[in-house]
Structure 1
Amino acid sequence: MKLLITFIMFLFVCVIPYRVFSQETPTYNNQQTPSFIVRGSVYDAEFHRAIPNVNIEVSGGAYTTTNLSGDFRIQVKKGDELVVKHKDFKTVYYTVKDNSRIKIEVRANQDASQAPKRNRGLSFQAAVDSSKYYLKTDIEKSLQFITEGLSKSQSTKDKSEVYTVLGDIYVYWKQYDLAISNYSISLQNLPLAIVQLKLAKAYRYNKNYQESLSIYKSITEDELSNRQHVFLHEGLGDTYYAMQDFQKALKAYNVALEKAVKHQMTPKKTDLTSKIAQTYSESGSEKEAGDYFNNAMELALEETESRSVEEKVKVADFKNRSQNFSDEIKLRKQAIQDIQGIEMDSAIGIESALTVQKQNYKIGNAYYLKKDYDSAKSYLEKSINEANAKNDLVVAKDAKRKLSEVYSSSGEYNKALETYKEYTDLVETLYIKKEQEIIQAARFSKEIAEKQNRITSLESERQLSESKYQLTSERNKRQQLIIYSLIGGLLLLLITAYFMYKYIKQQRLANNLLALKSLRSQMNPHFIFNALNSVNSFIASNDERTANRYLSDFSQLMRSVLENSEADFIPLEKEIALLELYTKLEHFRFQDKFDYEISVSSEVVVSDFQIPPMLLQPYIENAVWHGLRYKITKGILTIAIAKKSDTEITITISDNGIGRERSRALKTDNQKKHSSQGMSNIKKRVTILNEMYQDKVDVTISDFQDSEDTGTQVLVTLKKD
């Protein structure tokens, strides 16, 4: 009995969290979040005056405008995004956090052609230096200054420098496609080795590994400085490491390390020693990795405190992978003391690995793995408190989940369940935040692409103006210069359009994959909870043998579902095995209601076909729960797989139950809502799969027979790859 209770708690703590993670998709938007009226105002930040007739809209929802006093009221929900539009200022996006009054400051639009006027007195070098100054803090100012620098450029050397800085800006803000484009333009103006190194790195960041290797190998080493030699071989090592070619990565890193030692480049010695250690660790050479990590930690002690603690954290991660939890805990405790000292001098962002909350979480995890549950609880609670104080939802969520597992392992099941509920609430909050971040990131990328187009257009216009000015005295060259300028501008626009198209295509694919991951993971919890109720009834009736047999089949089904949850398609034989197991479980519960038969035609070569995992399960569940379960006499469920053509098969699911019309009449309002949502998810999933894989699956539903119990027939047509 105790073993069964422990297993059920394992399902709640370990299996169901997976489902929560896999459902971090827009399905949360379907939940009923309380709405409320929020008040706000819009005013000009420069002149401190209210702005009337501003358009206020909730994305996909309510709409209103500001009154003469600049005030507005609108019905919203927590997490909604307000879109604030007016002809006199740039559109503002505001995310509602609570029902507090909203104050939105705006600034009047500046004509793009007039924006640089306040910098008219800057020289070319001053404009470039100003752009570099704002590179990591304000991308708009940085781009504004570099545009001014471009307008002041007088030579190919100047233009090369401008486009190099543009590439640096886009690399820092992770717009790698645009960085590659600008570095390439820089090299066209002046082929410098340092720009080639930056272009190769940008290709690696963009995961164009072959292009990155090609650039690195094309660089003439005789033209490089000592530092550039090190950067070249380090970059090669980084690219090979990203490709998981660890032998070549080690070779490149060792060459770079030899040159760094020879030329006394101390910071690079530390970095390269650490990278060699990580490479050995990834390749499974634990002893060599340990030696190099120790060397890297000793070298880091001679540098800054932040570099030293960074290396300690890396070594602690290595100790964790080696299951040396005692050493890991010791290193992380030292790291926490160092981090607290660093935080007194400068703030550390929550995205950094060097945060107290992350280290406390990992210490708690290490104690948990050592089965020291009391210490694990203490450090996990510290992690949660620190994460809450710094609004680090990711660490707070992970720590809550781990704390729930610790409570479960120590036998405190009530606390485990309570903590797990807190964890699921955090997952929902984090999802809303991540969804807003994705929207903002997409908007940011679009705005950056528009600015790049503007820079390209300004450069084209400037070149055209210069050409016209010079051609007043050189009529014979006028047409050629104009044509070349137009061709150059067109090529730049085409390149930009290509990268925009590529980005949009990637976003569409990412959205489809995200939606598909959500839909295929949503196996109806109706069956899971009813299955657990069946186990409970077996236990209550002291039928432990039946409960154990049922639980064994149920856990086998759940394990198979989780194993296949990441795949768009699985072999047909696996799907048949899953259906046999699922139908067996349903028949086990309703033996007096129906019998079933699963047949595969001898003409069907099962190994030739792939099918979306658990695509057929909802149809079988509908047949049992809404057709056969209400039948007065014992019914029959038939699943038949037959050949339709050389490239197609049909899967027919038929039952002689009460039929769809009578079943619909028997449902409660809640059941109708649940069924509709389940069938809608199947339709969405099939639609997305057909869009991605070119009409691979087709589903039709019809009545099975003309008698009183009409039954239902589902016909699934599946195409071969």
Structure 2
Amino acid sequence: MMRSVYIVFFFLMGLYHGMGQDGEQRSKSTARESNAKKESPISRVMLSHQQYLDSANFYKRTDLEKSIDFIARSIAPLGSQGNKQELSASLSTLGEIYMFHKQYDLAIANFKDALSARETSKTKLLLGKAYILNGEYENAESTLTPLLEVKNMVPYQRVELYEALGDSYKGLSNFKKAQEFYREGLQIAEKNQVSPKVIDLNSKMADAYAGQDRTIEAEGFYRNSLNLSKKVAPERSIQESEKVADFYNQKSRYDDEIQLRKKSLNELQQLPQQKATAASSSIMPGSDTITSQRINYKIANAYIAQDKLDEAIPYLERSIVEADEDDDLVVQKDATRKLSEVYKYKGDFTRALESYQDYVAVVDSLYIKKEQEISRAARFNREIANTQNRISSLEQERELSQSKYSLAVTEQQLYEETSKRQKWIIYSLAFGILLMALTAFLYYRSNRQQKLANNLLALKSLRTQMNPHFIFNALNSVNNYIAKSDERSANRFLSEFSVLMRSVLENSEEDFIPLSKELELLELYVKLEHSRFMDKFDYEIEVDKKVDVEAFQIPPMLLQPYIENAIWHGLRYKEDKGFLKIAVQQLGNDLLEITIVDNGIGRKKSAELKTNNQKKQKSKGMGNIKKRIHILNDMYKNKVDVSITDLNEDQTGTKVSLKLKKD
């Protein structure tokens, strides 16, 4: 707060002293700079910007790193005068590149940044598509629905909007709503002769009906999409045929499936290599690629589903050979395993074993390939992250430059509009700011001192309460010996108790004492309690040799109530002899952990054994400890942390863990 006040003050003072002749000169200088900027070749910058975007689009399918680099180069020259339209175009193109390479989170982030720079229907539509591909259907619906009100959309873009909304509702399993949007889009596509979208929307209408188990309607639309796809490129026809064949498979219409897949296989083999590769691209995200080996494998599966094992074997063998030639280990693995199973069902165990051995070998190769792919993917992601960071840095630099430019323009306007009447306003404002800052500082210091005094008083009060509480419990132990007429034990106990009390009183005024002193007090206290309940428990105090007990400070009598609870409420009621362990170990250079573990009856059983009178009274010792820890952590920034858990799953035993920071 103080820093921001001073910045405002010095800015205003500088503004005042810059008036007069200096202000006149600066005004003229700023005007000359402004004129120079107006004369800069902006049109040439815009041309360069568009060239970079064209290059990024050219490489986006083949070289992700290069295409992103062109995006970065398109943002770099924008500088202080770079308009929002150019920035939005760069970020939107970057989002498309990421979406093409299935980096949907990055695509969404860049589309949002593009919309922040400049809102366009195209970018909103792309953002909606990215949400759909990322499975965020509700976000897609909320992003796309407002676009229905946009009036000036071209027909193709309107078709894409209805299609995307249909995809959103289909993802939300609202098939009826999805069909409505698909139908609207289909009507516009047919009216404007957008042939590719007519095929897509017929196919998606079929998907929506299939999702409702309305087989007749689904098959009708699939038939439409299949007939329409035959009128365009052959690779598009193959893609649609395979989609319909998958539908037949889901409906167990294996003969229709086999017939259609064989036809697709023949058409695919007749295509040139380049077009066959294009046909292998999937239409929808998540669907299988279309290759000869995969079609053969699916035909074989259809035969197997009909128990026609002999007919399935040749297709499995061809699938394996073709997959091996194309290095398609996934299909090769599945086909080899399926072939082994077929031979096993036929009773040809020799060939089944041979096929299974081939399957194991393919799995090993696939495992090695997957490891390499994971390594490449990790390197690829690092490269993407580095390039994205570079783009973010460029955008930040551009925003900073834009801010400086805007500030210069504002400053020029202030100089032109300023007059001598502002003199008393500036001084009055400066005086008011200083007065407010001084008041805030004094209030803050007073409040802090008062809070510290209150905390110290509360700590002292709690320590004062701890001492009588501890003395009262200890005198009960002496009273027990006296009641048993055990004078020697009572004398010995009182002698050791006096040593303990002297140390307790010496430390009672301190917020923190060395850990070594606290451990000595605890050892003496446990020894006293053990002498009383010798038949109830044994104990051990273990301090890790690595721990420098002199280097750590701990609030006095902080651990004693936890040990007292462990003995009096856990171990004392245990039928057989229990054990108490106090351990000190170092977790880090500045962090220490002290654990108090007992194998007593546990907190739940102890609570059940309390009398009605005990239940009405709250434990002052534990209450005081909690208050002390709260106050100490408030004063010393979370120096102490205590957690209490059951030791065993049956809720017997208790473990108290206290973590203590050095500073």
TM-score (norm 2): 0.52
In 1, the alpha carbon distance for the partners of 2:218 and 2:87 equals: 45
Query: Any conservation in 1 of the 2:235–2:275 contact (CA below 8 Å)?
Result: no
> CA 1:217 to 1:415, structure 2 compared with 1: closer, same or farther past 3 Å?
same
In structure 2, the residue matched to 1:425 is 361
In structure 1, the residue matched to 2:20 is none
Deviates more, 1:366-375 or 1:161-170: 366-375
In 1, the alpha carbon distance for the partners of 2:188 and 2:112 equals: 28
Following superposition of structure 1 onto structure 2, how do residues 467-616 of structure 1 map, counting pairs within 5 Å? 467-468=403-404, 475=411
Structure 1 gap ranges (5+) = 1-118, 479-642, 648-695, 701-714, 716-721
In structure 1, the residue matched to 2:145 is 217
In structure 2, the residue matched to 1:57 is none
What is the CA deviation profile of residues 443-495 of structure 1, one whole-angstrom value per residue up to 9, with x for unaligned ones?
322321221111111222233345446756754799xxxxxxxxxxxxxxxxx
Following superposition of structure 1 onto structure 2, how do residues 438-453 of structure 1 map, counting pairs within 5 Å? 438-453=374-389
Report the residue type matching 1:211 in the other structure. N
Query: Any conservation in 1 of the 2:268–2:276 contact (CA below 8 Å)?
Result: no
Partner of 1:334, secondary structure, is helix
> CA 1:646 to 1:344, structure 2 compared with 1: closer, same or farther past 3 Å?
farther
In 2, the alpha carbon distance for the partners of 1:351 and 1:439 equals: 24
The answer to whether the aligner puts 1:260 opposite 2:182 as a matched pair is no
In structure 2, the residue matched to 1:56 is none
The answer to whether the aligner puts 1:187 opposite 2:112 as a matched pair is no
In structure 2, the residue matched to 1:149 is 74
Task: Count residues in correspondence.
Answer: 373
In 2, the alpha carbon distance for the partners of 1:426 and 1:697 equals: 51
Following superposition of structure 1 onto structure 2, how do residues 110-189 of structure 1 map, counting pairs within 5 Å? 123-153=48-78, 154-189=82-117
In structure 2, the residue matched to 1:296 is 225
Report the residue type matching 2:144 in the other structure. Y
> CA 1:644 to 1:377, structure 2 compared with 1: closer, same or farther past 3 Å?
farther
In 1, the alpha carbon distance for the partners of 2:365 and 2:145 equals: 47
> CA 1:181 to 1:378, structure 2 compared with 1: closer, same or farther past 3 Å?
same
Query: Any conservation in 2 of the 1:163–1:185 contact (CA below 8 Å)?
Result: yes
The answer to whether the aligner puts 1:380 opposite 2:331 as a matched pair is no
What is the CA deviation profile of residues 657-707 of structure 1, one whole-angstrom value per residue up to 9, with x for unaligned ones?
xxxxxxxxxxxxxxxxxxxxxxxxxxxxxxxxxxxxxxx99999xxxxxxx
Query: Any conservation in 1 of the 2:603–2:646 contact (CA below 8 Å)?
Result: no
Report the residue type matching 2:242 in the other structure. V
- The structure with higher relative contact order (CA 8 Å, sep 6+) is 2
What is the CA deviation profile of residues 270-289 of structure 1, one whole-angstrom value per residue up to 9, with x for unaligned ones?
11101111222232122211
In structure 1, the residue matched to 2:396 is 460
In structure 1, the residue matched to 2:350 is 414
Report the residue type matching 2:129 in the other structure. K
Q: Compute the displacement of 1:268 (Å).
A: 0.8
Structure having the higher strand fraction is 1
Report the residue type matching 2:230 in the other structure. L
In structure 1, the residue matched to 2:167 is 238
Structure having the higher helix fraction is 2
Report the residue type matching 2:317 in the other structure. E
> CA 1:404 to 1:382, structure 2 compared with 1: closer, same or farther past 3 Å?
same
Q: 1:332 aligns with which of 261, 266, 274?
A: 261
> CA 1:403 to 1:238, structure 2 compared with 1: closer, same or farther past 3 Å?
same
Q: Compute the displacement of 1:237 (Å).
A: 1.2
Partner of 1:279, secondary structure, is helix
The answer to whether the aligner puts 1:202 opposite 2:130 as a matched pair is yes
Q: Compute the displacement of 1:397 (Å).
A: 0.7
In 1, the alpha carbon distance for the partners of 2:281 and 2:604 equals: 53
In 2, the alpha carbon distance for the partners of 1:645 and 1:386 equals: 69
Query: Any conservation in 1 of the 2:297–2:319 contact (CA below 8 Å)?
Result: yes
CA RMSD of aligned residues (A): 3.2
Q: 2:236 aligns with which of 299, 307, 322?
A: 307
Following superposition of structure 1 onto structure 2, how do residues 274-293 of structure 1 map, counting pairs within 5 Å? 274-293=203-222
> CA 1:135 to 1:344, structure 2 compared with 1: closer, same or farther past 3 Å?
closer
Q: Compute the displacement of 1:299 (Å).
A: 0.5
What is the CA deviation profile of residues 186-227 of structure 1, one whole-angstrom value per residue up to 9, with x for unaligned ones?
112221111110011111222222111100112223232211
Report the residue type matching 1:252 in the other structure. F
Partner of 1:408, secondary structure, is helix
> CA 1:209 to 1:345, structure 2 compared with 1: closer, same or farther past 3 Å?
closer
Structure 2 gap ranges (5+) = 1-43, 283-288, 415-600, 606-644, 654-663
Query: Any conservation in 2 of the 1:175–1:445 contact (CA below 8 Å)?
Result: no
> CA 1:339 to 1:477, structure 2 compared with 1: closer, same or farther past 3 Å?
farther
> CA 1:266 to 1:697, structure 2 compared with 1: closer, same or farther past 3 Å?
farther
In 2, the alpha carbon distance for the partners of 1:472 and 1:271 equals: 54
Query: Any conservation in 1 of the 2:301–2:312 contact (CA below 8 Å)?
Result: yes
In structure 1, the residue matched to 2:246 is 317
TM-score (norm 1): 0.48
In 2, the alpha carbon distance for the partners of 1:194 and 1:698 equals: 61
In 2, the alpha carbon distance for the partners of 1:389 and 1:443 equals: 28
Partner of 2:151, secondary structure, is helix
In 2, the alpha carbon distance for the partners of 1:699 and 1:355 equals: 58
In 2, the alpha carbon distance for the partners of 1:698 and 1:225 equals: 70
Q: Compute the displacement of 1:129 (Å).
A: 1.1
Report the residue type matching 1:268 in the other structure. K
Partner of 1:302, secondary structure, is coil
Q: 1:358 aligns with which of 282, 289, 294?
A: 294
Deviates more, 1:249-258 or 1:424-433: 424-433
Report the residue type matching 2:115 in the other structure. L
Report the residue type matching 1:242 in the other structure. G
Query: Any conservation in 2 of the 1:280–1:289 contact (CA below 8 Å)?
Result: yes
Deviates more, 1:339-348 or 1:164-173: 339-348
In 2, the alpha carbon distance for the partners of 1:262 and 1:244 equals: 28
What is the CA deviation profile of residues 143-163 of structure 1, one whole-angstrom value per residue up to 9, with x for unaligned ones?
222222112333111111111
Q: Percent identical across equivalent pairs?
A: 41
Query: Any conservation in 1 of the 2:329–2:362 contact (CA below 8 Å)?
Result: yes
Q: Compute the displacement of 1:358 (Å).
A: 0.6
Partner of 1:123, secondary structure, is helix
Query: Any conservation in 1 of the 2:95–2:106 contact (CA below 8 Å)?
Result: yes
Partner of 2:249, secondary structure, is helix
Partner of 2:252, secondary structure, is coil
Partner of 2:271, secondary structure, is helix
In 2, the alpha carbon distance for the partners of 1:430 and 1:319 equals: 30
Query: Any conservation in 2 of the 1:384–1:399 contact (CA below 8 Å)?
Result: yes
Report the residue type matching 2:67 in the other structure. S
Q: 1:341 aligns with which of 270, 282, 289?
A: 270
Partner of 1:348, secondary structure, is helix
In 1, the alpha carbon distance for the partners of 2:604 and 2:272 equals: 68
Q: Compute the displacement of 1:426 (Å).
A: 1.8
